[in-house]
Amino acid sequence: MTGTTAMREDLYPSRKGAGPRILEREDRVVYAAWTPGAPLSQEQTRTYGRDGVLVLENLFTADEIRLLQREAAQLHRTWESFKEETAILEPGGQALRSVFAIHAQNDIFARLAADARLVKIARFLLRSEIYIHQSRLNYKPGFDGKDFYWHSDFETWHVEDGMARMRALSMSILLTENFPFNGPTMFIPGSHRRFISCVGETPDDHYRSSLRRQEYGVPDRGSLARLAEDGILMPTGEAGTTVIFDCNTLHGSNSNISPFPRSNVFFVYNAAVNRLEAPFGPAMPRPEWVASRTGIEIIQPVEGHLVPDAA
């Protein structure tokens, strides 16, 4: 711990104790009060608050989705052009798994990140101006897509990046159809209302391996089993389906041996009032392209269609 953070309160301590603990969430989930003018229905707002995950269909038109798919396919062929560290490969292979900071490296995905249909929902739920904490384009190839173990994004963002409070959310826009059998992301509904304090210290430069495979900040099996007692939600749906989930909702995915790849683009919106401090774990924060810290831009929603000609 650095000198400047020694006296700071840590509401969500993790990777510090001898054993795992389940703590209560100290923050709201839905920050704004619902009104008829809200960008989500009252029912959708309730679902998000209760489950920590909400699935929206038909937010985009078919030609918008085709545009995003074409762009993702194009980038998959030319990924060597990205900033080296931002392209993450599958473990043990040369297959591209993710491109980080996609909104900062591609105009179409930058436009999508600022789209009013997404941004207005994020601003409503967080009741704040917002910026992009992290973005990425994920490819989960067919035949050998690896599994990704259960985790709370917030646990990592808190310990390794210094995000103090739970006032961030993720939006994942599916670029391929999610079937039950091609390794879609699974969520534990309601898990966002607890915080699993994990065991084990964080080694330096942990992010280099953890973006491929989780090793630290791993919830214990007892806590997972308890939180999953009421079941697991595995959203399936056509390309274009948008899944919104709280920063602390436990999620993970099984492997994908099916021939059907699974891709999505993923934006994390953080409340401007919740910007990063010094990490609560290791002294050195992770790099900008994993967790925006300096040069943050408040997002102004852009109205209209992603494909201007077709609007």
| 37 binds a copy of itself per the rule CB under 8 A | no
Site size for a copy of itself (CB under 8 A): 26
| 95 binds a copy of itself per the rule CB under 8 A | no
| 249 binds a copy of itself per the rule CB under 8 A | no
Q: How far apart are CA 74 and CA 68, in angstroms?
A: 10
**Which one among 58, 143, 297, 298 touches a copy of itself, defined by CB under 8 A?**
143
* Structure-token match 């038109």, residue found: 61
* Shortest Å, Cβ 173 to a copy of itself: 21
**Which one among 181, 208, 283, 284 touches a copy of itself, defined by CB under 8 A?**
181
**Which one among 183, 189, 190, 282 touches a copy of itself, defined by CB under 8 A?**
183
* Shortest Å, Cβ 160 to a copy of itself: 22
Whether residue 262 contacts residue 184, with contact meaning beta carbons closer than 8 Å, is answered with yes
Q: Which of residues 260-299 bind a copy of itself (CB under 8 A)?
A: 260
Contacts of 106 (CB under 8 A, 6+ apart): 71, 75
**Which one among 1, 59, 186, 272 touches a copy of itself, defined by CB under 8 A?**
186
| 255 binds a copy of itself per the rule CB under 8 A | yes
Toward a copy of itself, which CB reaches closer, 149 or 284? 149
Question: Which residues face 256 on adjacent strands?
Answer: 145
Toward a copy of itself, which CB reaches closer, 113 or 224? 224
Sign of the CA dihedral running 70, 72, 76, 81: positive
* Shortest Å, Cβ 243 to a copy of itself: 15
Contacts of 122 (CB under 8 A, 6+ apart): 130, 169, 171, 269
Q: What x/- string results for residues 197 through 226 when contact with a copy of itself is judged by CB under 8 A? A: ------------------------x--xx-
| 22 binds a copy of itself per the rule CB under 8 A | no
Beta strands 168-174 and 148-151, pairing class: unpaired
Contacts of 137 (CB under 8 A, 6+ apart): 72, 75, 98, 99, 102, 109, 263, 264, 265, 266
The CA–CA distances, whole Å, from 260 to 115, 176, 213, 255 equal: 28, 9, 22, 12
- The CA dihedral of 192, 292, 71, 261, to the nearest 10 degrees, is -40
Task: Give the interface with a copy of itself as residue ranges (CB under 8 A).
Answer: 142-143, 147-150, 179-181, 183, 186, 221, 224-225, 228, 232, 234, 252-260
